[in-house]
Amino acid sequence: MNFAVFASGNGTNLQAIIDACRKKKIKGALKMVFSDKPDAFALTRARKAEVPCIAWIEPKAYKTREAFDKAVVKLLKAEGIDFVVLAGFMRILSSGFVRAYKNRILNIHPALLPAFKGVHSIKEAFEYGVKVAGVTVHIVDEEMDHGPIVVQAAVEVKTTDSLASLEGKIHEVEHRLYPQAVDLFARGKIKVVGRTVRVG
């Protein structure tokens, strides 16, 4: 299966996926890296890895989010993309996009959903005083950080942890977990039934 990675920033999860592809740990083919920002370092990572299609589209060139997403879907279809992997993509996808790739969009979130949704989840969990934080890979639906959960991993929060050390531990788990989830999806091992994801 051909997949695209969407990223808006540094692209560390993208790099983990690129490395896993290089080591043949992902059976799918990374055919596209897409960004909404021309200066995203993720695009530099993609060029270095010689990803076949490297693209960005300026959101401001479109009057609505829906129009922008329609252009992106058209590009994905033209490139034969089977599923999409969000890796630090800082735009909420429209309902039209989600419907076009229903149950074929993966996202990673640095918390144990449904707890601590949103952008500042690690900071919020740390300040709340949780003993266990973690990482969730889920299918994207039309609500933010809401879709069916594919896999989760817990991260212990120690009394000696700082926010920075916790962030480091969570990112380390992300970089291990996300390529595994992408591989499962690429090999057709993930089936979505309602809110249940069956793996295997």
Beta bridge partners of 191: 198
* Cβ atoms of residues 109 and 154 within 8 Å: no
Kindly report the pTM of this predicted structure: 0.95
Sorted by where each starts, the structural domains of the chain and their CATH numbers stand as: 2-199 (3.40.50.170)
Tens digits of residue pLDDT in 4-16: 999 999 999 999 9
109 is catalytic: yes
Beta bridge partners of 5: 33, 85
Alpha-carbon Rg for the chain, nearest whole angstrom, is 16
Residue 114: is the preceding peptide bond cis (ω within 30°)? yes
Dist CA 49 CA 26 (whole Å): 15
How confident is the model at residue 200, as a pLDDT? 83
| Options 109, 120, 138, 171, the catalytic residue | 109
Confidence of residue 160 (pLDDT cuts 50, 70, 90): very high
How large is the greatest C-alpha to C-alpha distance in the chain, in angstroms? 51
Tens digits of residue pLDDT in 47-86: 999 999 999 999 999 999 999 999 999 999 999 999 999 9
